[in-house]
Every structure is written in C-alpha cells, then in structure tokens.
Amino acid sequence: MLKKTEACEEIDTESHLDSKERIEAVLESLQTLKSRISELRAHCEELKELHVEDQRNYLRCDECGDVIEQGQEVEAKNFGEETRHYHKECFRKLWMQQY
C-alpha cells in the first residue's frame, strides 16, 4: 500500500511539472503573439499614413468622388467659398441641369 502512495505522489509531481512546463510554453507563445500583433499594428498605421498621403496627391471629383485624371479637371469657385473640383463630364452635367 505504501508503494502505491509513493508512486501516485511521484506521478502527481511529474504531471504538475508537465503542466507547469506547458503553461510556461503557452505564456511564451502568447508573448510572442502579442509582440507580433504590435508589429503588425505599427505596420498597418504606416500603410494608412502612406495611403492618406497618396490620396492627398490626387484630386477627387466633388460630384462623383472618383479621382480626376490630370487635364480632365474643372475648378469651380463660389463667392468666397472653397474651391470645388469636378470631372469635365460631371461639371457639364451639373451645368446642363442648372440651365
């Protein structure tokens, strides 16, 4: 009977160590994943900033919202208001609707 108890205690100690090692391995993996997520977030922010900069370099039509190719833009200014930009075709349609 004594031998069984000693054997059980030994097994419990081994399973406890195995569990502890598994927990440590999982925690290490978690830390690695957290670090990777932080790197990916930083990379996404950089990409967002680059995208915003690229979008600033292009004019967008105030009517349809699409990018206006160079040479196809019409600039309209209202009295004291901000300047608006249109595709030639979009501006033509607006002009025809008014008159």
- The pLDDT assigned to 65 comes to 77
Q: Which long-range contacts (CB under 8 A, 24 or more apart) does 44-48 make?
A: none
- The pLDDT assigned to 41 comes to 96
pLDDT of residue 9 exceeding 90: no
Segment 22-78, tens digit of pLDDT: 999 999 999 999 999 999 999 999 998 887 777 666 778 878 878 877 777 787 777
Residue carrying structure tokens 């608006």: 84
- The pLDDT assigned to 1 comes to 43
